[in-house]
Amino acid sequence: MIKYDLSTSDQVQHAIGVLKEYLLFHSKQEFKISSQLEARIKKTINLAESKITTKATNQLSTTKEEYFRNINSPFNLFSDSRKSIRNYSEEDIPIESIKSALNIVLNTPSACNRQTSRAYIFKNKNQIKEIIDIQGGAGGFGYLANKLVVITAELGVFGGAHERYQAYIDGGIFAMNMLYALHANSIACCILNCSNAPGKDKRLHKICEIDRNEVFIAMISCGYPTDNFSIATSHRYELNRICHIK
């Protein structure tokens, strides 16, 4: 079993660094976060600091040109240049640009080629806010999204309980392809989870007006970036941590 020990895990150390950056960022913006949240973060940092000193992680400052510099580069550079962007300008994304990305995503592989993934493009700001409020993981930036793409999977084509994960597997592949397609179309985005408890799930179905025979896979907030913006750094494992030759 892998132990996520603070003194040895670079991932845990990175997480503590992110918490430090979170406090610093809000204090620089003179934005008061709830005292309860601040206390919990500080408690976690102090606990960590009793074992090891970590530095606040820096967000990556970039420009729109720099961020999309590799969209026509070989796949390794293209793939590496995609990041979750949580800061959008007010510029409108034409629906046609999102549809053009989806047109690429039609090539997504799926089990038995059943193509169960569906995409709903929301363009009304109030409706986007309502959906994002229920989603709950984009409080600080979701309201800036110019478009929101909700990805679902249709369950009707599956043949039995043994296929219970297939919609999510196919949907996940579809969602990743969509992130790349949006990136290729110079649209900044952030994928948002839809792993909801039943109550939230029902509310989302209702507010999105999506039939109950479809399950939520994820949603993607989209926008054009501002001229200058910051990107959250998300630490990755080394290859030998995840790759095992048997």
CA distance 230 to 60: 5
Q: How far is the CB of 133 from ligand FMN (least distance, A)?
A: 12
Q: How far is the CB of 15 from ligand FMN (least distance, A)?
A: 11
Of residues 10 and 49, the one with the C-beta less far from ligand FMN = 10
Q: How far is the CB of 35 from ligand FMN (least distance, A)?
A: 23
Q: How far is the CB of 103 from ligand FMN (least distance, A)?
A: 22
User: Site map for ligand FMN, 210-239, x if CB under 6 A?
Assistant: --------x---------------x-----
Q: Which of 193, 206, 211, 228 binds ligand FMN (CB under 6 A)?
A: 193
Q: Which of 102, 119, 144, 192 binds ligand FMN (CB under 6 A)?
A: 192
83 binds ligand FMN (CB under 6 A): yes
